[in-house]
Structure formats: C-alpha cells, structure tokens
Amino acid sequence: MRFLLPKDEGELSIGIMGGTFDPIHIGHLVTAEEARRQFNLNHVVFMPTGNPPHKDRTRITDAEHRYLMTLLAVVDNPFFTVSRMEIDSQDTTYTVDTVRHFTKLYNSKLTLYFITGADAILDITTWKDYKMLLKSCAFIAASRPGYSFSKLKVILGDAFPEVIKRVHLLEIPAMAISSTFLRRRVAEGKTIRYLTPESVEQYIYKNRLYVR
C-alpha cells in the first residue's frame, strides 16, 4: 500500500516528517503539530525509514513494528497520516527520492517541507544529492530552546548560505525526549508513561520490544 493524498484539494502544503520512530514519542508529535500550525500545513506525513543509509540496520527494530507504532500514535489527529513508501522499498531509502516522489505526484500544486531535527541539518552536505534536495523542498529544523544556527555556520562553511535560506528553525521544548532515552528506560524496566502515547506504550510491552 502506498500513501496518497487527495489530488482534488487544490494547492497543498505538506510536511514530511522522516525518522526511524523507534519508537515514536511525544517529542515527535509535538514537533509535527507545532510545524503544522506555524507553517499552515494541510497535512503532516510521518515517513518511517526503511533502509536508512546513516544507521546500523541490525540495531533498528523491524519496520512493521515501527510503522504500526507510528500509526497508533497519530490515528486520532485528522491532519496526520503515515506513509509506507520507504518501509515497503527494498532499496536503501534516501530523502531526496522521497521528496522527488511527492513532487512528481503533485507537481506545481505542492509546497513541500521536510521536518527534521536541527542537529540533522549539520550533516546535510553528506545526504544524497543534497543540493537538489534543497531546491525541491524547504526544511523545518526542530530544536530545543536556545539553539543557535552559529554552530551550523561553522560546520557547513561555504555551503552555509545555500542551506540556511531553505531552513526554518522551530523551537520545541519536548525535543529533549529521544527514542534512545525511551529504549533505555524500557530495557531498565522503568516507566515510559506520558513519554509516548498510551497505545504505543502498550504495543511496546505487548510485543516485548527493547527488552534485554
């Protein structure tokens, strides 16, 4: 099954929120909702990664579990949806290919944003076809309060001007929560209540995910 948005909505403004979502947590949801409101997005599409190029695939939870947890987390928000596009792909998945897919599908009717963490932007010059990616969509970079783009300027060097004009900073207090933190708490037998939706919490316990 491949995700499709209705083509009869006229002009569309869509945010793609990519991530392993291993597991999805409150920080992801708060970020998506704040991005939707601040940038007047019609929809936010959660895109669980399939075969990410920058992570050790042997340490990532099965894609079907990650997809189902994401689906459980967003089901009560009519502006959120989940795409299987990347997890159904047998190839290594790259952001530029996902963006090309949406751009081709909706052509000039689409204004596209890619929602990610501000720290991920520090590595954007290592992403596949990053210059083409910057031309195809804008970025919403979610960060903790007080984050400055000064570090970005130092790391990106000559690439900074072309990157920064396509990046919008979005301050999210809940970004202090991470999937790594949740996995560690589950492994240690600690509660993750209120750190992720209850439905996701119960799914994790039922399927014995992240236990040692």
CATH number at residue 122: 3.40.50.620
pLDDT for position 5: 57
Low-confidence ranges of the chain (pLDDT < 50): 1-3
Whether 140 is in a domain gets the answer yes
Whether 199 is in a domain gets the answer no
pLDDT for position 57: 62
* Nearest one of 193, 192, 176 to 184, comparing CA atoms: 192
Cβ-proximal residues to 63 (8 Å cutoff; 6+ apart), any chain: 48, 50, 87
Whether 211 is in a domain gets the answer no
Which residue shows structure tokens 């492994």? 187
Whether 164 is in a domain gets the answer yes
Task: Please state the domain count of the chain.
Answer: 1
pLDDT digits (tens, 9 = 90+) for 69-94: 999 999 999 999 999 999 998 888 89
List the end-to-end C-alpha distance of the chain, in Å, as a whole number.
33
Q: Say whether the peptide bond before residue 53 is cis (omega within 30 degrees of 0).
A: no
Whether 113 is in a domain gets the answer yes
What CA–CA distances, in Å, run from 72 to 63, 106, 141, 176? Answer: 14, 27, 24, 22
pLDDT for position 2: 41
Return the amino acid letter for 191: T
Question: What residues make up the domain containing 32?
Answer: 10-177
Cβ(147)–Cβ(168) below 8 Å: no
pLDDT for position 55: 62
pLDDT for position 192: 97
Whether 3 is in a domain gets the answer no
pLDDT for position 1: 34
Cβ-proximal residues to 115 (8 Å cutoff; 6+ apart), any chain: 15, 16, 17, 18, 31, 32, 35, 44, 139, 140, 142
Cβ(166)–Cβ(146) below 8 Å: no
Whether 43 is in a domain gets the answer yes
Whether 141 is in a domain gets the answer yes
What CA–CA distances, in Å, run from 168 to 45, 113, 116? Answer: 18, 10, 11
3-state secondary structure of 67: helix
